[in-house]
Structure 1
Amino acid sequence: MTQSEQRHLSDEVSSKFGISVEDYMLPARDQIQMIDDNGALRPAAEQGTEPGHAYPIPGAEELQRGYEQLVIGRRVNDQNSALVRQGRMAVYPSSHGQEACQVAAALCLGEGDWMFPTYRDSVAVMAKGVDPMEVMTIFRGDWHGGYDPTQYKVGIQSTPLTTQLLHAVGVAHAAKLRGEDTVVLAMCGDGATSEGDFHEALNFAAVFNLPVIFFVQNNKYAISVPLSSQTVAPSLAHKAVGYGMAGERVDGNDLVALMSVLDRAVKLAREGNGPLLIEAHTYRMQAHTNADDATRYREDDEVKAWMAKDPVNRMRGFLKGQGLLTEADEERIAARAEETASYLRDGMNSEETPDPQDLFRWVYATPTPQLIEQSAMLADELSREEDGK
């Protein structure tokens, strides 16, 4: 960003928010929280907002839709954990307890916006409109990601840590060069903030003033490494100011606050205010994956304390208190969640016969001579084996 552009941004911030650009970049003093652990709406004066930080409560229809996706996400998380135990899925990184972050991430985006998820963000990918079976394809051990990223504008989930942030800023940069009205949501965990790719992505996005929202789900552990062993920064949101962008902290188990904060972030990014970093404080209730033993690095009392902050229960309590959720609504939502779980069970229980030639068919659009030769060798060996039966 040139000095002229920096001065323009400073002037715009002062005009729009009535605060200096420095205050705009710093996160609010306390994390944004709109409903308490019981689902009661907190007074505006206690929500953690400060001058220049306006967070309106989303509309009733949007909140009801969010709750429905929240319940479906919880049911999917639990169903997939059962499928792993049954041997129908190779691995599943559960987001049980983090579903509010997942749902808000999907609902804040417009039709032309992109999402770049982590391996733990399956619920967000589903909420963005991807077929549940396509989402879970990668976790059953198939060779491909399961869905077409360009169809849904959702990057493929993959296990390499933080690489998706670089993909996100690349898409945002391309969209800006083309003059497209595109906002990109780049998702990561607290562990990702310790990677070099995190620095490169944030710095690139800030320098080129790209419409990217970096959404950090701080669930306190990078597998078994606590956040205190990764950084001594006041918060991960404070890292934003070092790159010249705004940062904010929000209660990651408060769906109302998440939807409000992310909706605002998307609006600001779309208006040309550059990238933003949102840190959501949440908790992974279950193990990192089925291969992890979480009891080795965290205490039961810590887990129990977070159970009281459960996002599903809090949102249910809020909607009931606002007269926005009836028993009939709950029955309908529960039935839809069960339909999704049943669909996944049936799909994962079906046997598929892989085609060995897929090892070569989808590597390049035009196969190399070496791949053609290897494919022919495999075909010959399989033919001989079949003849020998």
Structure 2
Amino acid sequence: MRLPRPHRDDLFIAAAGLACGLLLWSFGLYTKSEELFPQRWATLIPLVVMASMEAVRRTLPRTALAVGTLAIVGDQFTNGNLATVLMFTDVVYAAVVYGTTASARRIPYSTGLITVGVTIAFLVWWQNAFALLIGVITGMISFLPAVTGAIVRNHREAADSARLRAEQTALLAEMDRTQAVGAERARMARELHDMVANHLSAIAIHSTAALSLDDEATTRRALGVIRENSVAGLAEMRRLIGLLRDSSEDTGPAAVPRLSGLDALVAQARTNGATSGLAFRLDDTREETGEQLPAPVELAAYRIVQESLTNALKHAAAGTVTVTLVRDERALTVRVTSPFGDRPGPRAPGSGAGLVGMRERVALLGGTFEAGPVPEADGTRIWRVRAELPAEERTPEA
């Protein structure tokens, strides 16, 4: 197994400690005299070993502490070197700061018990106050560095936790912002599609008819419908731009389409679809209860009818398009049926975005939506759009 490479700062600390120890040794400055190994060279062994452990204090903290403990114990049997003692305090500190979490919890307790044990042992042995001094020195070179390392580690972990929380908060804020922007873009896309697609579809159909039929009356009638829808579409676009523009001067509420405007919407569809053999009928069976639906529900229902009529102008075969509204105490049901099949004459292309927008509107309100061909009792098929919108929350009509 390849050992980790020592940190550059640890190598500098080890070199500085070894140099200081050699300087003290060269001048004969020892911490004790008349020991078991009084030879001068014996002091260098713990010094060199401790300096070597300083080099790996960050990469191998547990090994450095274990070997350093043996070195400081061996130093007590020589004349002793102050640099060896000081480097041992740094090894204890590094073992707590850079070691594992379990080691960081155990080392302060272990050194504290060692300090108390040494103090009691020397008190029993010597039975004088000098034993207390030995205990204080033991605590200073073992327990105090361990406690200092624990304090530093706790502060670092608290700072890391605070930084992580700040990063998570910033990430959540960015996610919320992205979701809000996406939701607003989707809402704008639905509004733009529902407000303008109807007029542009009519323009496409009648312009195709004007180009393909060589009849002056038909051309003039088609151009009239094109102009009418162009003006209406431009007005709708200007209204949408006004809603999107951030203007501090515009403090008035924006006009929201309501179901009371369905008569005009169906009348416009009747005009646009006359050349395609389409007839339009509104069957509003809602009960007059004196209460009105919430504005979001009315807007969604209005847009669903508007988009369904637009799709009928684009794709429906000749026949009658029926818009039916039914309301009970629980929900408002919107149903639009149109003849299903191929039809002669000009048709406007579709992208499928209308069905997606209707489905999204209903889903936002917690309702149900379905669209597709269904068989009739006489064997024919119709295209049916059906949306059920919840209407539990209602506000009394002023």
| TM-score, structure 1 as length reference | 0.20
Higher relative contact order (CA 8 A, sep 6+): 1
Q: Which of the pair is proportionally richer in helix?
A: 2
| TM-score, structure 2 as length reference | 0.19
Q: Which structure: larger Rg?
A: 2
